[in-house]
Copies of this chain bind each other. A is one copy, B any other.
Amino acid sequence: MAFLKVVPLEKALNVVDSLPLKPEIESVPLSEALGRVLARDLVSPIDVPPFDRATVDGYAVRAEDTFMASETEPVRLRVVGEVNAGDEPSLELKPGESVYISTGAPLPGGADAVVQFEEVDRDGDEVVIYRPAYPDLNVMKAGADIPKGKLLLKRGTRLTFKDTSLLSAVGMAEVPVFRKPKVAVIGTGNEVILPGEELKPGKIYDIDGRAVTDAVRELGGEAVFIGIAKDERDSLRSMIERAVECCDMVILSGGASGGIRDLTASLIEELGEVMVHGIAIQPGKPTIIGLVKGKPVFGLPGYPTSCLTNFTLLVAPLLRRLLGREDEVRKVKKKLAHKVFSVKGRRQFLPVRIEGEKAVPILKGSGAVTSFVDADGFIEVPENVEILEAGETVEVTFFG
């Protein structure tokens, strides 16, 4: 039992790494693939275009038949047919023959060039050509755009409309993507109510429940908001049980009181196993990582900034791993806008707002919604540092 034994952040991250969740792959129709993350490298199963294709309206010819053509001594070729876009080519050109062809149509057998409509004259069943055509003139060769076997997109690509267009071009009807992890979110606290409920004295509206739910969605996961548990054993217990039933993992955000934290830990211990109970960072002391019926359960601190900082440090990397997005950079280097003080021996994460090249510390205290909402992310003040000077380079980690 890990009760009340505060561990270093690295230890907690190792525990997260060891959690029994692996990226899973599912197949979705291309029409629903936008925004999903590719689970495998994809190569083209076909040549694009699949056939030698006319790029203009005109006459398909054997180029060698036109080599002697000139303004003064044009070449005349017999027009033996017509092929339009979408037609299956059945003709075979013999020497001295040509075929009327429209843009996008497949070249008939024997033809290797297209003479543009505007550059010839039509005379009965003959076309009059005034300039030599070279092989492949006005032809896009089969596979010239995308050859069969070409690597199209790499595993981990979050599919944009250009990517889905490319997959459509090669005829891919189903796309292997990472399954969205399903995350249950439980808010806690006797004082917490949901928007739409009447604001009675002593109550406040939920922040963490909404924040965690929508942060999971922004990351690409599926979030299920279970509700707000009261600071009371049965209410919390039934919600945790419901959550592990429906989802791949559970996130609880603590109410303001310390009681709910102890209750959460003791319930996880009862239903499963507490793996981490407290992390030696500020904020993060109340953070819990447990396992119930094989499903990870995170208990995050209640103050919004604390909740989202720990979500960003512990849960988001796990979600990114499950979604195949672990390579995404969510950090940026900035200059600290003004001096900040910390306590020696305390590893601290401070919310900051980014203004141009500056990181501006937000010192409202983590109890304020606005200190979270106004912040873009946080910086770390290491254990052995008491002062960060204005102008120092700091690394900002974005929330989420």
A binding-site residues for B, Cβ under 8 Å: 30-31, 34, 46, 48-51, 53, 55, 57, 84-89, 102-106, 140, 144-146, 160-173, 189-192, 194-197, 199-211, 213-215, 217-218, 225, 231, 255-259, 302, 304, 364-365, 367-370, 372-373, 399-400
Known: A168-B195, A169-B205. 17 other contacts (CB 8 A): A34-B214, A50-B201, A51-B201, A55-B367, A86-B191, A102-B258, A103-B258, A104-B189, A104-B302, A145-B367, A146-B370, A161-B215, A161-B400, A163-B373, A164-B211, A169-B206, A171-B199
B161 touches A86 (CB 8 A): no
With A85-B189, A162-B373, A256-B103 in contact, do A206 and B168 touch (Cβ < 8 Å)? yes
Complex alpha-carbon distance, A102 and B191, angstroms? 11
Q: Is the interface of A mostly helix, strand, loop or mixed?
A: loop
A204 touches B168 (CB 8 A): no
Complex alpha-carbon distance, A217 and B165, angstroms? 13
B209 touches A168 (CB 8 A): yes
Complex alpha-carbon distance, A204 and B140, angstroms? 13
B368 touches A88 (CB 8 A): no
A-B contact pairs, 18 of them (CB 8 A): A31-B213, A48-B204, A49-B204, A50-B199, A84-B257, A102-B259, A103-B256, A146-B370, A161-B210, A161-B215, A164-B214, A165-B304, A166-B373, A168-B207, A168-B209, A171-B195, A171-B205, A173-B194
How many whole Å from A106's CB to the nearest CB in chain B? 5
What B residues does A164 contact at CB under 8 A?
A: 210-211, 214
With A48-B204, A55-B367, A370-B145 in contact, do A30 and B210 touch (Cβ < 8 Å)? yes
What B residues does A400 contact at CB under 8 A?
A: 161
How many whole Å from A41's CB to the nearest CB in chain B? 16
How many whole Å from A302's CB to the nearest CB in chain B? 8
Copies of chain A in the complex: 2
B207 touches A195 (CB 8 A): no
| Listed residue (A103, A210, A225) with the most chain B CB atoms within 10 angstroms of its CB | A210
A207 touches B165 (CB 8 A): yes
CB contact between A204 and one of B50, B202, B204, B210 (< 8 Å): that residue: B50
B104 touches A372 (CB 8 A): no
- When C-beta atoms are compared, the residue in chain B nearest to A400 turns out to be B161
What B residues does A199 contact at CB under 8 A?
A: 46, 50, 171
What B residues does A102 contact at CB under 8 A?
A: 256-259
- When C-beta atoms are compared, the residue in chain B nearest to A217 turns out to be B34
B167 touches A89 (CB 8 A): no
CB contact between A161 and one of B46, B206, B214 (< 8 Å): that residue: B214
CB contact between A202 and one of B105, B207, B302 (< 8 Å): that residue: B105
How many whole Å from A53's CB to the nearest CB in chain B? 8
How many whole Å from A49's CB to the nearest CB in chain B? 6
With A207-B165, A225-B31 in contact, do A190 and B84 touch (Cβ < 8 Å)? yes
What B residues does A258 contact at CB under 8 A?
A: 57, 102-103
How many whole Å from A35's CB to the nearest CB in chain B? 8
What B residues does A85 contact at CB under 8 A?
A: 189-191, 202, 231, 255-257
What B residues does A206 contact at CB under 8 A?
A: 168-169
Complex alpha-carbon distance, A48 and B195, angstroms? 13
Complex alpha-carbon distance, A213 and B86, angstroms? 23
What B residues does A30 contact at CB under 8 A?
A: 195, 210
